[in-house]
């Protein structure tokens, strides 16, 4: 290194240290204003000098909410978190493992919930003894949700975001409530939380409230908790079968903590074929994470419950009755709403460590989990209703603005429906141009698509109106 270089290097170092100092002063002065004090849900007094910068969250709802609050970049680790999709790639810390791993990661905040302290008191104590602040939060009822979010916001310096998110959250819940409250034909609902002894939820639990908000009448509105403080309530097969003809909608909760049945297993239980909802195919499975977990995603669970109860009201697609050329995004929304299928939510904590032959939920380069149509797009793709594209290095793209051709529409429609081979074999002059000859032939034979001078015109783009017309054929087939 010559002399000039040495001088330059020295000046650089001096500048660097000054800029560092500036930052240090700033953060110190900020911290004096931002002193955080509250009692956490383990009854422990929390006092922090400044918002956290390196957080390990051991509860998936905390993780989700921190991402919603816009502080996802402050998270350095999680436990069994798979939503939002980026949370699945956080380093994993397990309270059943070695606390030294947490200590070595040097977080400035470990977020837990009371359940974890009860399960692993020594683990938590070891981390506390190492001087790492541990905050335990869990809203025991829906009424405490705002307070809980505000505490998370304090810890992550996102109070402004929290206010807006909470306003939006409550507005959306109220909008659903208002919509469904006007329905004359009230639906009776049974909510199954586990299939062992067929248990339900308490009426004041988050799931219980979701049924109420969605405009349903909870068959188990008098259910009492199985243990004090629990949201699980005994119900039993006998009482269900007594009310078999009254149950309009049967919702079953599944996930790592709950094992409700599904349409097939429920309908195969002895006597259950007499249940009105089973006879009418109104058995729906909902992921516990969106209906029983204190996260902003709860609004999705409430909306889903309302869709199960009042599909026509919640899944209206009148706004697409126009002659605009349709895009993939348009089709995805129309398809999911038209079929009234539940939104796709991965449930297994190993979802991202398992290889998927098709699309992996949440990994489109061009669709963010905050996209307003995220659930419709992911659900349509996961059900094979709409195509997507693979780019360089296996990257996945939805290409939401891409127009939809007749050839594509034919394939997607065939996957959505149950079309039969009618063996008419109407001649199609340009069938060779289609990538899905077998499907096009069946759909033309079934008069789902009309020919133009003997041609199918596979490459021609379709309008929204044409899609709605094509979807309406699914009712017949």
Partner 1 sequence: MKKLLMFLTVGLFVFAMAGCTNSQSVSESNSKGEQEVSENKDSGEDSDKVNTDESKKAILVVSFGTSYNDSREKTIGAVENKITEAFPDYEVRRAFTSGMIINKLKDRDGLEIDNVEQAMQKLYDEGFGKVVVQPTHIMNGYEYDEMKEAVKPFEAKFSSLSYGTPLLNDDKDYEEAIKAVMSEIPETEDKDSAVVFMGHGTDHPANSAYAKLNDKLKEMGYDNVFVGTVESTPDFDDVLEEVNNSGAKKVVLYPFMIVAGDHANNDMAGDEEDSWKTMFKKEGYETIPVIKGLGEYEGIRNLFVEHTRAALEG
Contact status, residue 346 vs residue 290, Cβ threshold 8 Å? no
Max Cα–Cα distance, the chain, nearest Å: 93
For residue 111, the cross-strand partners are 57, 135
The answer to the question of residue 274 lying near partner 1 (CB under 8 A) is: no
The answer to the question of residue 446 lying near partner 1 (CB under 8 A) is: no
The token pair that represents 182 in the structure block: 């006007």
Per DSSP, 186 falls in state P
The answer to the question of residue 1 lying near partner 1 (CB under 8 A) is: no
The label of the residue with tokens 């209703």 reads: 385
Exactly one of 354, 357, 392, 450 binds partner 1 (CB under 8 A); that residue is 357
As a whole number of angstroms, the distance between CA 18 and CA 24 comes to 10
The answer to the question of residue 384 lying near partner 1 (CB under 8 A) is: yes
Minimum separation from the CB atom of position 469 to partner 1 (A): 21
Report residue 304: phi and psi, to 5°.
-60, -45
Minimum separation from the CB atom of position 223 to partner 1 (A): 19
As a whole number of angstroms, the distance between CA 215 and CA 183 comes to 8
As a whole number of angstroms, the distance between CA 82 and CA 262 comes to 22
Minimum separation from the CB atom of position 79 to partner 1 (A): 13
The answer to the question of residue 413 lying near partner 1 (CB under 8 A) is: no
Per DSSP, 216 falls in state E
Strand pairing class (199-201; 232-234): antiparallel
Minimum separation from the CB atom of position 251 to partner 1 (A): 17
List the Cα angle 275/243/337 in 5-degree steps: 50
20/121 with CB nearer partner 1: 121
136/258 with CB nearer partner 1: 258
145/412 with CB nearer partner 1: 412
Minimum separation from the CB atom of position 385 to partner 1 (A): 8
25/94 with CB nearer partner 1: 94
Within residues 136-195, the interface with partner 1 by CB under 8 A covers 194-195
269/433 with CB nearer partner 1: 269
180/441 with CB nearer partner 1: 441
As a whole number of angstroms, the distance between CA 28 and CA 36 comes to 14
55/416 with CB nearer partner 1: 416
Contact status, residue 182 vs residue 162, Cβ threshold 8 Å? no
Exactly one of 171, 353, 421, 472 binds partner 1 (CB under 8 A); that residue is 421
4/96 with CB nearer partner 1: 96
The answer to the question of residue 196 lying near partner 1 (CB under 8 A) is: yes
Minimum separation from the CB atom of position 96 to partner 1 (A): 5
The answer to the question of residue 383 lying near partner 1 (CB under 8 A) is: yes
Exactly one of 24, 28, 130, 325 binds partner 1 (CB under 8 A); that residue is 130
Full DSSP string of 378-447: HHHHHTTSS--EE-GGG-EE--TT-B-BHHHHHHHHHHHS-----------TTGGG-S-HHHHHHHHHTT
Report residue 242: phi and psi, to 5°.
-60, -35
- Which span (46-54, 134-142, 293-301, 375-383) binds partner 1, by CB under 8 A? 375-383
Binding mask 80-119 for partner 1 (x = CB under 8 A): --------------x-xxxxx-------------------
190/296 with CB nearer partner 1: 190
CA 344 → CA 220, 354, 356, 364, 426, distances in Å? 27, 17, 15, 15, 38
Exactly one of 93, 123, 191, 298 binds partner 1 (CB under 8 A); that residue is 123
Give the three-state DSSP class for 124: helix
Nearest to 470 by CA among 441, 450, 445, 453: 450
Distance, C-alpha 415 to centroid of its chain:
24
Contact status, residue 172 vs residue 299, Cβ threshold 8 Å? yes
Exactly one of 122, 185, 318, 475 binds partner 1 (CB under 8 A); that residue is 122
- The site that binds partner 1 (CB under 8 A) totals a number of residues, namely 48
Residue ranges in contact with partner 1 by CB under 8 A: 94, 96-100, 120, 122-123, 125-126, 129-130, 194-196, 256-259, 261-262, 264-266, 268-269, 341, 356-359, 381-384, 411, 414-415, 418-421, 436-439, 442
């Amino acid at each position: 290194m010559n002399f000039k270089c040495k001088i330059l290097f020295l000046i650089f170092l001096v500048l660097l240290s000054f800029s560092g100092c500036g930052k240090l002063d700033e953060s110190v002065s900020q911290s004096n204003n931002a002193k955080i004090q509250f009692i956490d849900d383990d009854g422990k007094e929390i006092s922090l000098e400044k918002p956290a910068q390196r957080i390990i969250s051991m509860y998936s709802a905390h993780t989700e909410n921190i991402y919603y609050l816009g502080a996802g970049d402050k998270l350095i680790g999680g436990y069994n978190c798979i939503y939002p999709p980026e949370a699945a790639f956080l380093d994993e810390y397990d309270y059943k493992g070695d606390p030294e791993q947490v200590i070595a990661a040097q977080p400035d905040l470990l977020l837990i919930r009371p359940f974890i302290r009860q399960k692993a008191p020594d683990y938590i104590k070891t981390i506390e003894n190492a001087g790492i602040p541990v905050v335990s939060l869990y809203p025991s009822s829906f009424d405490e949700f705002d307070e809980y979010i505000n505490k998370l916001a304090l810890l992550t310096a996102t109070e402004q975001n929290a206010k807006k998110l909470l306003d939006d959250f409550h507005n959306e819940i109220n909008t659903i409530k208002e919509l469904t409250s006007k329905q004359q034909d009230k639906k009776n609902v049974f909510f199954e939380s586990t299939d062992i002894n067929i248990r339900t939820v308490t009426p004041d639990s988050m799931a219980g409230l979701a049924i109420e908000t969605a405009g349903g009448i909870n068959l188990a509105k008098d259910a009492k908790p199985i243990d004090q403080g629990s949201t699980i309530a005994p119900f039993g097969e006998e009482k269900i079968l007594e009310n078999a003809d009254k149950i309009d909608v049967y919702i079953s909760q599944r996930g790592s903590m709950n094992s409700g049945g599904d349409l097939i297993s429920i309908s195969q239980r002895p006597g259950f074929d007499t249940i009105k909802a089973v006879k009418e195919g109104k058995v729906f499975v909902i992921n516990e994470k969106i209906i029983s977990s204190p996260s902003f995603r709860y609004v999705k669970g409430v909306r889903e419950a309302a869709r199960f109860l009042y599909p026509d009201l919640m899944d209206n697609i009148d706004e697409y009755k126009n002659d605009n050329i349709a895009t993939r995004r348009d089709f995805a929304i129309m398809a999911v709403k038209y079929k009234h299928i539940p939104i796709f939510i991965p449930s297994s904590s190993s979802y991202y460590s398992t290889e998927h032959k098709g699309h992996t939920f949440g990994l489109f380069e061009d669709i963010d989990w905050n996209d307003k149509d995220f659930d419709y797009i992911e659900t349509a793709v996961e059900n094979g209703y709409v195509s997507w594209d693979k780019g360089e290095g296996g990257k996945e793209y939805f290409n939401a603005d891409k127009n939809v051709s007749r050839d594509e529409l034919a394939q997607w429609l065939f996957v959505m429906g149950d079309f039969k081979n009618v063996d008419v074999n109407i001649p199609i002059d340009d069938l060779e141009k289609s990538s899905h000859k077998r499907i096009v032939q069946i759909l033309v034979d079934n008069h789902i698509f009309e020919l133009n001078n003997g041609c199918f015109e596979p490459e021609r783009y379709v309008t929204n109106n044409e899609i709605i017309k094509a979807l309406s054929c699914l009712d017949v087939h």
